[in-house]
């Protein structure tokens, strides 16, 4: 329920903007910079997770992908880590 006492349906928008929160939480994964640079598997997984074309796969298992602007910034930052 929101502050007005109305039910809020969980979806990508309501979870992303915080209006739905009782049964959701942020899930973070932290990547060691050296592993990202030196381990091709770590780099491939990170690119996969951030790729626009994989948003459907992420949502099909019940996760809500990063907002597009956040994913874009993270992808840009990933490109500079070599």
Comparison of pLDDT for 11 and 45, the residue scoring more: 45
Same domain, yes or no, for 20 and 40? no
pLDDT at 8 over 90: no
Q: Give yes or no: residues 21 and 40 share one domain.
A: no
Are 41 and 66 within one domain? yes
Q: What is the pLDDT of residue 19?
A: 82
Q: Does 70 lie in the same domain as 41?
A: yes
Mean pLDDT calculated for residue range 69-80 = 88
Going from the C-alpha of 15 to that of each of 11, 19, 21, 32, 42, the distances in angstroms are 6, 6, 6, 28, 27
Both 37 and 60 in one domain: the answer is yes
pLDDT tens, position by position, 21-51: 776 677 788 889 999 989 999 999 998 888 8
Q: Are 77 and 37 in contact (CB under 8 A)?
A: no
pTM reported for the whole predicted model: 0.64
pLDDT at 5 over 90: no
Residue 68 sits in which domain range?
31-80
My answer on whether 67 and 45 are in the same domain is yes
Domains in the chain, number: 2
Same domain, 5 and 44: no
Are residue 51 and residue 72 in the same domain, yes or no?
A: yes
């Amino acid at each position: 329920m929101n502050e007005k006492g109305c039910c809020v349906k969980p979806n990508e928008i309501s979870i992303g903007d915080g209006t739905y929160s009782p049964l959701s939480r942020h899930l973070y994964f932290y990547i060691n910079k050296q592993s990202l640079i030196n381990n091709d598997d770590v780099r491939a997984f990170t690119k996969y997770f951030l790729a626009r074309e994989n948003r459907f796969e992420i949502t099909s298992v019940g996760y809500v992908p990063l907002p597009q602007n956040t994913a874009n910034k993270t992808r840009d930052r990933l490109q500079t880590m070599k």
